[in-house]
Amino acid sequence: MSGPAASVIERFLDHLSAERERSPHTVRAYAGDLESLRHHLDEVGVGSWGDLTLTHLRGWLAGVSESGASRTTVARRVSSARTFCRWAKKQGVMATDPSVRLTAPKRHASLPDVLQASQAAQILDAARDRTSAGGTGETRSSDAAERAGGESDPTTRAVALRDAAVLELLYATGMRVGELVALDEASLDETNRLVRVMGKGRKERMVPYGAPAETALRLWRSTGRPALAQPASGPALFLGVRGRRIDQRQVRSIVHAATSAVEGAPDLAPHGLRHSAATHLVEGGADLRTVQEYLGHASLSTTQIYTHVSAERLRAGYVQAHPRA
């Protein structure tokens, strides 16, 4: 496909970013999906978006599946193609929408790995202990290499305070990693122990947090953050050792280091703490509507997986403990 085809993609991505206020991460995902489609259309000799048909779309997805992509990836590409085609028809780029009858593969209802409540307590207690020990033992987070060049003890302790606050807040609120790194200091309502979270689709929600997270945040903001802050830090709540807003890679490193240090705990990404928090809420008796609002899910059906997680854990405990299981 010629240069104008690429410019159509750029216009669509601008629409996602400016008009629909999609996150940079989401826009990049759309860009990758549509470039994959454009490459396929080049290979089969389609000259313009106006010539795109349902058969072409199905052929593209078949190739994606045959390359070993997961069902989740294929389903995301179906969604990207549908959104793009609807927009292209409205813009007059396509006379009809060829994606109307395009279907996504059914996803396997795989259950997420989650922590036991006791494991979560171990992880958070260990993070707290590292702050009182001046950061001793915290050697595997993404800031470790930057600290290795003779950083002062205040910096080491500041990172330990930050990591403890990050872990406490992720588990307390169940927020997504992208939501966490976007937080500013003003996002916190310390009086009411609430955090203002900007979720998917620019939907805002207020999420409560408890006393342990309050303590960790207070220590980070009063002692840790000032030790790392630079003139260019801006309003960001969480900072890296160079004073810039923390990024998702750093948070993943923090969570990996914390969970892998607990024997028997699954090696989790930040989303695993979200799954764990939601599962523990359901196990504690929270109703699904409350958990839906807490997580910022648009649909209750997305939240229902946590009832299945709890049921599986109940079944496993029954089999292990009941004499006539």
**Residues noted as catalytic:** 176, 200, 271, 274, 297, 306
Decide: 69 and 104 in contact? Cβ < 8 Å. Answer: no
Matching residue, tokens 């995902």: 29
Alpha helices in the chain (DSSP H): 3-14, 24-43, 54-66, 71-90, 117-132, 144-147, 153-173, 177-181, 211-219, 225-228, 248-260, 270-283, 288-295, 300-303, 305-321
CA distances from 325 to 2, 55, 147, 201, 312 (A): 65, 52, 53, 46, 14
Q: Are strands 188-189 and 194-198 parallel, antiparallel or unpaired?
A: antiparallel
* Alpha carbon distance 206, 193 (integer Å): 10
Q: How far apart are CA 122 and CA 116, in angstroms?
A: 10
Rounded Cα distance between 133 and 148, Å, is 18
**Cα torsion 209, 214, 216, 220: sign:** positive
Q: Which among 151, 177, 160, 134 is positioned nearest to 220, based on CA atoms?
A: 160
The structure tokens listed for 204 are 């805002």
The answer to whether the CB of 253 falls within 8 A of the CB of 165 is no
